[in-house]
Structure 1
Amino acid sequence: MTLIPDFGSIQKEAVPALAETRAQSFAYLFAKRAFDLGFCTIMLLPAMLVVLIALLVLNPIYNPGPLFFRQKRMGRHCKPFRALKFRTMVGNPTGRRGPDDPLEMHRITPLGRFLRLTRFDELPQILNVYLGEMSLIGPRPDYFAHAHHYIHAIPDYRHRYSVRPGISGLAQIQLGYAEGIEATRRKTTADIDYIRNASMALDMWIFWRTMVTVWRMRGT
């Protein structure tokens, strides 16, 4: 059985400061937070409610089980939080998946596949945005136990958590879903580049690319 390192010890050494970047500037953080709250309220909250109503009807037929899925993820400063999504998979009988294991595609239900292609399954994470645990744009948060593994296996991985994690991010639109240690190394490099070059212009470009992915139904 894999032992998870003590959370307190991880936090003590977590997130050494990057060189001063625009990601830490007050003006950028204020504009980013204002955009997060405004877009979530005006656009994504109504969309989530429409999908929620549809799933209340469709879930019992095509995706029996709980409507929501909550998972412990690693957040800013390596603190844990519970990310909320619409459930897309049947339960895992083993109760665990290793950090280098492939995505268990056979567990995705037909309705869940549609939710993932359209990224509708991500909509409940706007509640995490409201709580200040996530942003619309930023490094995607990993499952907490897997993140502990990557912190020790990948140099600079913990730097990803110097900012709020995002529903979408630079690594996600450039590399797609990351499976295994090598893909996570590439994801880490892209996310560090994002943090070092953070700006509202970059955020808007990532946001646009994410919307194109949604429209073309190219989610994972």
Structure 2
Amino acid sequence: MAFAVLALPILLVLAVVLYLANPHFNPGSVFFRQVRMGWDGKAFTMWKFRTMTDNGTSVRDANAPLEEHRITPLGRLLRRSKLDELPNILNIFTGDMSLVGPRPDAFEHANEYLIRVPHYRKRFTVRPGITGLAQVRGGYADNHRAVERKARYDIFYIENASFRLEMHVIASTFAVVFSGIGQR
């Protein structure tokens, strides 16, 4: 919660800047909302800054590759800097997310992974996070094998949760953000 309070002024300033820049560089709404599966398998709406053009639907098929052609130039910058995730702090205020935990998947994707990915269900025994061990160790999960790897990291995090591990994930997140590695 302390992180969310400290990050709120940055979120507000960036939202205003994007509101002014969007008509020229990223036409459409500033925010993107998507239903994700969270703690105990419950649905919640996750907030992000929008980085892609509208495709008429909010969820692509779980097996479909990322539609990189839809990412706008401004969106690419937001993704590379990870600033597109900053509105997730709103989900901390609502209690749907924490700073560190398994990254929540789109609700429809999570339902499919529950069937196809071993031990995936265990991810829902904790609150999802803005960042997690899977994000800093495994990078972007865009196929079945990557989702299995992500689930293994998430389970390791859950089974070994400690203040030290959380500090490691937070420090690693800053390293990933400043290096630009791990995100499309």
Gaps of 5+ in 1: 1-36
Q: Do the aligned residues in 1 keep the contact of 2:102 with 2:133 (CA within 8 Å)?
A: yes
Q: Does 1:119 align with 2:82?
A: yes
Q: Could you say which residue in structure 1 is the equivalent of 2:131?
A: 168
In our comparison, the structure showing a higher alpha carbon Rg is: 1
Matched to 2:54, the amino acid is: G
Deviates more, 1:209-218 or 1:133-142: 209-218
Q: 2:98 aligns with which of 135, 147, 150?
A: 135
Q: Could you say which residue in structure 1 is the equivalent of 2:3?
A: 39
TM superposition score normalised by structure 1: 0.80
Question: Secondary structure at 1:100's aligned position in 2?
Answer: coil
Q: Does 1:212 align with 2:157?
A: no
Matched to 1:140, the amino acid is: R
Question: Secondary structure at 2:32's aligned position in 1?
Answer: strand
Structure number with greater CO (CA < 8 Å, separation at least 6) is 1
Change (3 A) 1:47 1:164: same
Taking the TM superposition and a 5 Å limit, the aligned residue runs for 1:127-206 are 127-206=90-169
Question: Secondary structure at 1:103's aligned position in 2?
Answer: coil
The CA RMSD measured in Å over matched residues stands at 1.2
Q: CA deviation at 1:216?
A: 2.4
Deviation per CA, 1:44-77: give whole Å up to 9, x if none. Answer: 1121112112111111110000111000000000
Change (3 A) 1:49 1:95: closer
Give the Cα–Cα distance (whole angstroms) in 2 for the partners of residues 104 and 145 of structure 1.
Answer: 17
Give the Cα–Cα distance (whole angstroms) in 1 for the partners of residues 8 and 56 of structure 2.
Answer: 33
Q: CA deviation at 1:94?
A: 6.0
Q: Could you say which residue in structure 2 is the equivalent of 1:8?
A: none
Gaps of 5+ in 2: none
Give the Cα–Cα distance (whole angstroms) in 2 for the partners of residues 202 and 94 of structure 1.
Answer: 37
Using the aligned pairs only, state the percent identity. Answer: 50
Question: Secondary structure at 1:215's aligned position in 2?
Answer: helix
Number of paired residues? 183
